[in-house]
Amino acid sequence: MIESRKLNIFRVIIFIIFIFLCIMSFASIILTFQSLFNLGENSDINIYNMLYGDTICILFSIILYKVYSVIKSLKSNPFIEKNIKNFKIIYRCMILITILDGVFTYNIPKDSGLIILGTDSASLDPSCILFFILAVLALTLSYIFEKAVEIKNENDLTV
C-alpha cells in the first residue's frame, strides 16, 4: 500500500512537470515565431538558440510523457511491448538531445576548468556526456524489458 502511494505521488509529480514543460514549450514556440517575424527590428536575437531551446523542451516533454506511461503500467504488468517501445523512444530522444547539446554548446569557452573532448578554447559540456549515459541506460532498459517479456511469454506457455 505504501509503495502504491509513493508510486502515485511520483506519477503526479511527473505529470505536473510534464504539463509545466508543455506550457513552457508552447510559450517558447510562440515567442520564437514572433521574433522570426520581427527579425528586422531586433537583429540581436539568435534564432538558432531559440530553436535549440524549443527542440530541447519538446524532446524533454516527449521523454516525460513516455516515463509517465511506463510508471502508469507498473500497477498491472510492466513487462509489455509498449514499455519496450517507450524506452526506445526515450533512447532516441536522449541521443538527439546529446547531439544538439554537443553541437550548440561546443564552441562556448568553459570557465569551470573541466575540459571534455576539446581544447582550452572549446570543449563539450559535461551535460552532453550525461545525456549520452542516460541514452545508453534507456537502451539497456529496453533490452532488459525485451528479455523479460520473452521469459514471461515462455513461462506462460510452460504453465
* Helix H or strand E encompassing 143: helix 126-158
Distance, in Å, from the CA atom of 1 to the CA atom of 155, rounded to the nearest integer, reads 28
Cell of 112: 569551470
pLDDT digits 0-9 by tens, 43-68: 556 777 778 888 888 899 899 899 98
Report the predicted TM-score, pTM, of the whole model to 2 decimal places: 0.80
Domain residue ranges in the chain: 1-75, 77-159
Assess contact for 84 and 118: CB atoms under 8 A.
no
pLDDT digits 0-9 by tens, 106-123: 766 556 556 666 666 666
Least confident among 32-41, 70-79, 136-145 = 32-41
